Amino acid sequence: MSSSPVSVKVPHPFDGSRANLFQLNTFLQALNVQFVVKRVSNDTEKIDHLSINLTGSALNWFVTYSTNVEITDLTYAAFVEKFRNAHIGKLDTYNIIQKMSSMKQAHSIDAYITEFDNLRRLLPSGSLIEDMFIQLFVKGLKPNTRKELHLRPITSFYEATQLASRAENYLYSDGFSVGSSVAPGPFIFDADGDIVMTVCGSRGSRSSRFSSSSRSAFPSRNPDSNHWRQKYREVCMKQRLCFNCMSPNHQSAKCTQGSSSSSSHRSNNARPLQAHRY
């Protein structure tokens, strides 16, 4: 007795529309889960199952592509790369970065990480340096979680996601307070969890550095800070973003974010703190 053909269906088909493009990675991930659960290993079968879950312009693209290319000669990975490139090309890199910059964690940390990472994967390779991904990710975290990450050195986006996930678990544990898991640092935070002042170790004096919630200070790990700042400016200029807050539609000279809340702390002999903007 022959077994029934395997059916692989995902909750939301992919139609290739502009509004649906941001869900492309979620769509592909859902298919991969189904392939594991249903034990589908043949590349041609995987491509067939993917095509069954297409509608609209995405299905039209598949029909045209399969007419001109022999599908059975392709691996699933090679087909997916062609499929992704054909649709991601419709996206504007600037809009993706703006969407990432405006993201705020509203629910669980896992949901925020998934949504942010889906957008990150839509960007062409080399669009942003790793430090920029870290800054944008930390910027959207809840204030207490953001404050916890400011107290730690972060070297990669993946590390930032892991620290954020662990920090949230600690923050909701009994007896835990922000920064209790690391050595105390000479920082003063604002209500948004951003560093607004660093306290010097000599003679009880203070040196201030003021930032908006999207441009907080963090002790520099890179001795070549001038090089890092130049790369930061290049990205902002390329994407037409404000140097201060990474928002569009205004220049840094006209940026007002964070200026009112921090002005009362400014001192006459303030000394800038070299920092990464996380």
Going residue by residue through the chain, which has 278 residues, state the pLDDT in tens, using 9 for 90 and above: 334 467 888 888 999 887 788 888 889 989 999 999 999 999 999 999 999 999 999 999 999 999 999 989 999 999 998 998 888 777 777 778 888 899 999 989 999 998 899 888 888 777 788 899 999 999 999 988 888 888 888 999 999 999 999 888 876 554 444 444 444 444 444 555 555 444 444 434 433 333 333 343 333 444 444 555 665 666 677 666 776 766 767 777 777 764 444 444 444 444 443 444 44
Q: Global pTM?
A: 0.45
- The DSSP secondary structure of 235-276, one letter per residue, reads HHHHHT--TTT--SSS-GGG--TTHHHHGGG--TT--PPPB-
Number of other CB atoms surrounding residue 233 within 10 Å: 12
CA–CA distances in Å: residue 93 to residues 15, 113, 252: 20, 20, 21
Each domain of the chain, given as residue ranges in start order, spans 18-88, 93-265
